Structure 1
Amino acid sequence: RYVYVLDLPSEEHHKVSVQLTSDYHTVRTEFVKVSDNIHDYEISPDGKRAVFSARGEVITVPEKEGNTRNLTNSSGSHNKLPAWSPDGKWIAYISDETGEDELYMVSQDGSERVGLTTDGNCRRFGMKWSPNGKKLAFSDKNLKLYFIDIDKKETVQIDRSDYTELRDFSWSPDSRYLAYSKRLANGIHALFVYSFNDDRTRQITPGYTNDFSPVFDPDGKYLYFLSERNFNPILSRYDFEFVNNAITNLYLIILSADEKSPFAPESDEAEIAE
């Protein structure tokens, strides 16, 4: 639609050029509330900052003082699953900017970015740094478990499941072992440990009960895990069927033959006089 002016004496008209100056408020840089869009988070090793993924960006915020940093600034891709390196220097994350999930790491101040993989062909899941910061473990939708050598940028497959994704894994404190749970042919999850020293995987629970969520203790003496092995059936008062309730408990495996059980029975013995 246009605006015209009619000159009555001459009966001529002409179009009026209308120009409206906008303040372009829709394209201004602004802070957007993303608290309802946070999907993943992690605390820095020193506890001074936290990293989040929200609205497809990887963002760090300070504990008290300082600025909020958008480390990815890429509206055309989905960046997710940030993981802070043990030394606090790097934040690893997954991005689909190439069309496939690839692994990257960015310096915590956003000044440097490094690509770690180029072979993505399916969805990839959360990463865990080795305690020494030299490796990253991750899994994918192809039911495979991998680690990346950070210096060499090499990806090595640790294991593959025939049934479910391998998301449940934990590093030993000395970075020499990776414990994880894997479903067996009988439908039960067993615990496995991969050794980086000899490139071998060992099954450490028999697979008779559902064992999962392995975690090494900080000193490397024990491997804690959850297991569904307490079957105390209760008879329903209404349908006369048995149900098993509260069957999951916390257990530990002693990792050294020289280490004593923390739950070994104690006994006060009388001293024999000479």
Structure 2
Amino acid sequence: MRLLAPLALGFALAAPASSPITHETVWLTKRVGAPVLSPDGSRAVVSVTEPAYDPAQQASDLWLLSTGSGAAPRRLTHTKAPESGVAWSPDGRRIAFCSARAGSPQIYVMAPDGSGVTRVSRSGSYNTSPAWSPKGDRLAWTTRAGGSFQIVVANADGSDARTITSQGSNENASWGPDGRYLVFSSRRGGGGRRLYLADRDGKTLKQLTHGPGDDTSPAWSPRL
């Protein structure tokens, strides 16, 4: 609650005082997404959605918050396109995110002050869920290809992009601490979701889970 206090206070001050609660008040109230902390914990990025009755007028932008200094929230993006899926680089100097500003969800990278926005996904009509490698030299994300979802690994600037999966529907890639492997969730052969391990070049693949139910959202423990 403390983390979102500055942003919530800013919105509250902008709202009319003592207004009656109406359908419009509830429907058009700004909505704040879950905060994504920077590596050192001093900052966080949230997605703030400004609803509208006309979907074409709805805006969803990213804001930067300070977790301790009391600095005012800073708006990082200014488009009407949905923007989400934030991932900080390990050194805290870059932010990867997903935006549909070009007409379809794509992966972008920017500085923490909102400058230097660069598109890094260069193919496909649907790219989302960016994840930085431990050294910050590569990005992995999910792309939709041929009706299914696959995992892409590329240099941090989007060059040398390669799809490391080819079967099933694959999502939620998470880098191992040494940057050599990724674990992700995959649905294959009509069964439930299972966790798989692949090297960053897609040359090796190993199924990790086999039990009933779905296995999703894997996360590596840090190197100790």
SS at match of 2:109: strand
- Which structure is larger by alpha-carbon Rg, 1 or 2? 1
Count of residue pairs the alignment pairs up:
185
Q: CA deviation at 1:206?
A: 6.7
Q: Are residues 152 and 57 of structure 1, via their aligned partners in 2, closer, same or farther at CA, if it must alter by over 3 Å?
A: closer
The equivalent residue for 1:22 is none
Q: Are residues 35 and 47 of structure 1, via their aligned partners in 2, closer, same or farther at CA, if it must alter by over 3 Å?
A: farther
Aligned partner of 2:40 among 35, 39, 46: 46
Aligned partner of 1:140 among 131, 140, 143: 143
SS at match of 2:164: strand
Q: CA deviation at 1:36?
A: 5.2
Decide which structure has greater strand share: 1
CA distance in 2 between partners of 1:91 and 1:140 (Å)? 19
Query: Partner letter of residue 205 of structure 2?
Result: R
Q: Are residues 67 and 131 of structure 1, via their aligned partners in 2, closer, same or farther at CA, if it must alter by over 3 Å?
A: same
Query: Partner letter of residue 47 of structure 1?
Result: G
CA contact (8 A) 1:190 1:203 kept: no
Q: Are residues 110 and 160 of structure 1, via their aligned partners in 2, closer, same or farther at CA, if it must alter by over 3 Å?
A: same
Aligned partner of 1:155 among 161, 179, 194: 161
Decide which structure has greater helix share: 2
Q: CA deviation at 1:133?
A: 0.6
1:5-27 deviation digits (Å, cap 9, x = unpaired): xxxxxxxxxxxxxxxxxxxxxxx
Query: Partner letter of residue 153 of structure 1?
Result: S
CA distance in 2 between partners of 1:39 and 1:118 (Å)? 27
SS at match of 1:105: strand
The equivalent residue for 2:11 is 32
The equivalent residue for 1:24 is none
The equivalent residue for 1:79 is 83
Query: Partner letter of residue 74 of structure 2?
Result: R
* Identity value in percent: 27
Q: CA deviation at 1:205?
A: 3.5
CA contact (8 A) 1:59 1:69 kept: yes
CA distance in 2 between partners of 1:215 and 1:94 (Å)? 20
Q: CA deviation at 1:147?
A: 1.7
SS at match of 1:127: strand
Q: CA deviation at 1:199?
A: 3.5
The equivalent residue for 1:245 is none
Report the TM-score, using the length of structure 1 for normalisation.
Answer: 0.60
Structure number with the bigger relative contact order (C-alpha 8 A, sep ≥ 6) is 2
What is the root-mean-square deviation in Å for CA atoms of aligned residues?
A: 2.6
Query: Partner letter of residue 180 of structure 1?
Result: F
Unaligned runs of at least 5 residues, structure 1 = 1-30, 221-274
Matches within 5 A, 1:60-209: 60-65=64-69, 66-74=71-79, 76-122=80-126, 124-141=127-144, 142-151=148-157, 153-162=159-168, 164=169, 166-185=170-189, 187-196=191-200, 199-205=202-208, 207=210, 209=212
Q: Are residues 62 and 207 of structure 1, via their aligned partners in 2, closer, same or farther at CA, if it must alter by over 3 Å?
A: same
CA contact (8 A) 2:196 2:208 kept: yes
Query: Partner letter of residue 47 of structure 2?
Result: S
CA distance in 2 between partners of 1:108 and 1:211 (Å)? 35
CA contact (8 A) 2:65 2:73 kept: yes
CA distance in 1 between partners of 2:34 and 2:182 (Å)? 23
Q: CA deviation at 1:217?
A: 2.5
Unaligned runs of at least 5 residues, structure 2 = 1-9, 13-27, 50-59
Report the TM-score, using the length of structure 2 for normalisation.
Answer: 0.72
CA contact (8 A) 1:86 1:129 kept: yes
Q: CA deviation at 1:155?
A: 2.2
1:62-110 deviation digits (Å, cap 9, x = unpaired): 0132231111122x32222111111000111111111111211110122
CA distance in 2 between partners of 1:186 and 1:94 (Å)? 29
